[in-house]
Every structure is written in structure tokens, then in C-alpha cells.
Structure 1
């Protein structure tokens, strides 16, 4: 086999398919047609002389040969990106850490950790990106992320069943909260009773599989009325501020809530706990990765203030 015939485009497409989990999602991410993605994957598999992606009903997964190719492809692509940065005149970095985070972690935790790192490790470069927890896990497995902040809900199963297991550290575990318009009757107290959630209008996540009811209080004994759907957490909170409905939020979002929103705990019924996990592959971390992980742990502790103790807007 002669990998000199493999283009950088094919390597990037291959990495994106592995991270996104499906050809369709990779095509949307890259702005390609699905047939163009399929052609690139076929080309790289032809050169490899082996199937690199296992096609399954729920998406694709790297084969053993695919993991070998992905490991080397990541090195090549990272070197190309580093070369581009150097040629553009950017100062050489003391180390680069690739961090992934689920959407709400980008509101408070990630900015706070990066601000601290700029003070303590100004030469350290952190390259970060947002993604869903499944996509971030795939990116860790593909070797294109060093660390990932993941969200976990009961029963707190491992984020995937692949081997070897990811190294997981729980940074926080807090109860899920409710975002309520400041003018809403439920905003008058210091908490919301779960029984009062019946008949409310909700602002939920997108209708894609896996997050259809995201934003609705779990376990409601009725079919909820979904007034609005939005994927972005900030859009949801501004819809709450406009009086359009209620939505669920992790307690860590309380400091970022816009005026006109109260973040309150819910009493009664089972507690809806949420964990913030820091994940990496099970090999010894580099010193830069360790420093970033420490900054994230510190930021998580600093922001771990119960939402209902914060001043309301």
C-alpha cells in the first residue's frame, strides 16, 4: 500500500466521519455532499486495502485497521495545522491541548478555566470545540481530542462500551435546575414544587434522536406542551426571559442567565442529578494536558455554587 496517494482532504474526511459517527453528519459538518464523503472514504480504504469503518445501523465505528490509520492521520493533520500556524507568524506554543466540551460547559466553566490558564501558563495553547457528548467521545477515541468535558445523567453509565475504557473524573455532581421567567408565578419562591410543573409550556431541545425532550423536566406524568424548540442553551434562556416557557438547565449555568430569568431548584419527586465528567484516553497524559485538567477542576470547584443562592435578576 502507498499512502502517499492519500490526500489531506481524504484524511480530514476520514477523521470527521469517525468523530461525527455517520456519513450524513460528516457531510453536513464539512459542507460536502454525502456522495463526496463516501468517495473519499472509499479512496482511503482502497489504499489501505482494508475496511477502516464498520458500517452499522446506528452509524459507523473504527475497525482495528481504522484505529491505526486514525492515529497516524491525526499526527499528520496536527503537524499540518502547526505548520500553518507557524507560517502565519503566530508565536511558537509551549504545548497544545485539544479540548472538547458539551454546550453548556462553554458558558462559564471553560472560559473561566482558559482565563486562569492565560495568567498561569501564557505559552500554553488550548484549542477547543463544542460538541454533543457522543461526538466528543468519538473524537477522543479517534485521537483528535486530548480532553473532553462530558455531561452524564442517571444511571450514570460509561459514555461508551469501547475498550479500553476512558479515564473519567467527576468534576461536579449537582441537581438539575429549572429556568423560570422572573415574572412567572413559579418564580416567587426559592424553589419550585414538582407538582406545579403540570400544564406548563416548555422550551425543549431539537427534535433529533436522543435529545427530543431535552429541556423538559424528566419524568412528568403528562405529555408536555412544547412551545418552542432550540438547540442553543442561550437561545433557550432568552426565550425564558421573554416569558415563552420554562426549560431545564444545569446549575452551572446560573451565573450566565440573562436578566429576567430565575434559576431555581425543584423539590418533590426523585432528584435529577447531573454529573460533569472530564474524560481522556487511558494513556499517561502529557504535562500540558495535566495543567489544563487541573485548571478545569479548579474552575469547576469555583463555580460550584448552588444556583438558588445566587441573586435573582
Structure 2
């Protein structure tokens, strides 16, 4: 089997991105170049490596097998480059991915704890949705991921081998509303009052649901503003342009002018915060980051 390191990097990026188009953008290639690399990989492997689906591209069992070896090969090549150049690592690196609100409320505190206890560990962070972070874990682009799930808390994906997952905390959703106007001085809101509200929500896709609108809201929600950035969403709320659903763990970082309202007349919306990694024994650095996240949670 004759496979280049470039082909293995394309395989890893397709697994992480979930599409040929996104992989091409991240690698700086044209989409046709990525498609040619994918076809060459399949010819060399003698098996179908990619499954084209309505929600994107997923690796077949053969593709996942090759990906597992690709991670080891690419890591070895990176280590060889360091040895040849005489670069001596001065720290223990850990690549941490986290879903959007965890980056505001959980990760910074964990990094402070880690810096005090394990100063030799260097953490780089990236944000993403839970589906995209799982793909990045599978692809070997990150070492650890903070994920979120909703009941009944099924396994994060159906791939094998199963990810190693630990629960950090359980939390509930609430509604972030302007502190002035209709919601001034209140700590609760009835679900019926939210039916006609202007919502500030994160854009959705086939695999990633609309975030920011209260789940199970009666009728079709009126989304007035669409934004992924939490600071943008909460500043729009503070200035009276709408409401958005938030995990209660964000309460300490809410900006002035925003109140947290608990929703009545509807079942509580529980969310679980998880930390995930690939199966097997973690490195001491990954284990230390996991402990810091658990302590912060």
C-alpha cells in the first residue's frame, strides 16, 4: 500500500471537517485536489474509505482503521522533524476543544488551576460544536474535548471504538433576558410568555440544532438575530433586542443589563457537561487537564 503523508493529512482533515469542501479550505487546497487525494487513498487501500451522506462525509469502518494508523504515522513524522531540527520540547502540550459556552465559564478557571499545579503543561484551545469536536477527536486534531449532551444522554457518536467519556457536571437551561422592559425585576417567566419573543440564536445545520431558542417552544420561534459568539448574543440581550437560552453555569459571566429567568410551565431542560478523549491510557498531561476541568466543574 503506497500512501503519502499528504494523503494521510487529507484523510485526517476530512474526518475532522465532515466534508471535502471544509477540508479543502482548512488545508488550503482546492476541492478537486482533495477529491483526487481521497480517490487515490481509496485506490491504494483497495476499499471505500468515505461515505457520502446528506449531512456530510463520514469515514467507513475501513476509513476509521486507516485513520487510527494515520494518527500514529503523522505523530511519528512530527517527532522525527523535531529530532532532526534539534527542537527540544519545553513543555507538555495538550490540545483542548470545548463547546462554545464552556469557553466562557469552565475552561478559563481550569487553565488557572492547571497553571498553578502543573506549569510545565501548555494547553492550546479551540471552540466548536459537540459534533465537530467529536470529529476532531477522532481525527487526532485535539487530545481532549469538553462536550455537552441532552437527555437521554446517549453515546456521543456511533463509531467504534467508543470514546472515553467522563461526566463533569449537570446543569439546566434558563433564559437570558433584558433587565429592563417586560422582564424587569423578575426571576421567572412562563413558557407561554416566550411564544412571541424575539430570539437571538446560533445558526443551525442538519447535524447541529438551533442553539439559543428554548427547546419545545410552542409554535415557530421568531429569530431576530443570528450569532455564534456568546459575547455578541449577550450584548444584544443587554440592549433589549431579544432573549436567548443559556446554561445556568453562565450566570457569573453575564454582562450588566442581563437577567437570568427560570422557565415555568415546561419541563426543566437539563444539560450534561462531559470531557471526552480517545480510548486507552491518557498521557500524564491529558490526565492533569482532565483533573483541572473536573475541579473547576
User: Match for residue 2 of structure 1?
Assistant: 2
Aligned pair count reads 297
* Residue deviations 1:85-142 (CA, integer Å, cap 9, x gap): 8899986245322222111111121111112111111111223221211111122223
1:53-202 superposed matches below 5 A: 53-79=50-76, 92-202=89-199
* Residue deviations 1:219-244 (CA, integer Å, cap 9, x gap): 12122211111122221111111211
* Gap regions ≥5 residues in structure 1: 301-313
RMSD (Å), alpha carbons: 2.5
* Residue deviations 1:231-265 (CA, integer Å, cap 9, x gap): 22221111111211000111222222222212232
- 1: distance between equivalents of 2:269 and 2:277? 26
- 2: distance between equivalents of 1:192 and 1:294? 37
User: Match for residue 287 of structure 2?
Assistant: 290
- Structure 2 residue 77 is matched with structure 1 residue 47: no
User: Match for residue 256 of structure 2?
Assistant: 259
TM-score by length of 2: 0.89
Change (3 A) 1:180 1:128: same
Q: Please, which of 9, 24, 27 is the counterpart of residue 27 of structure 1?
A: 24
User: Match for residue 219 of structure 1?
Assistant: 216
Change (3 A) 1:24 1:271: same
Change (3 A) 1:41 1:225: same
SS in structure 2 at match of 1:188: coil
Partners of 2:13 and 2:139 within 8 A in 1: no
Partners of 1:204 and 1:212 within 8 A in 2: no
Partners of 2:12 and 2:140 within 8 A in 1: no
Cα deviation, residue 149, structure 1:
0.8
User: Match for residue 274 of structure 2?
Assistant: 277
* Residue deviations 1:24-82 (CA, integer Å, cap 9, x gap): 33234445432222122223333334332233343333234323332232234345556
Change (3 A) 1:138 1:210: closer
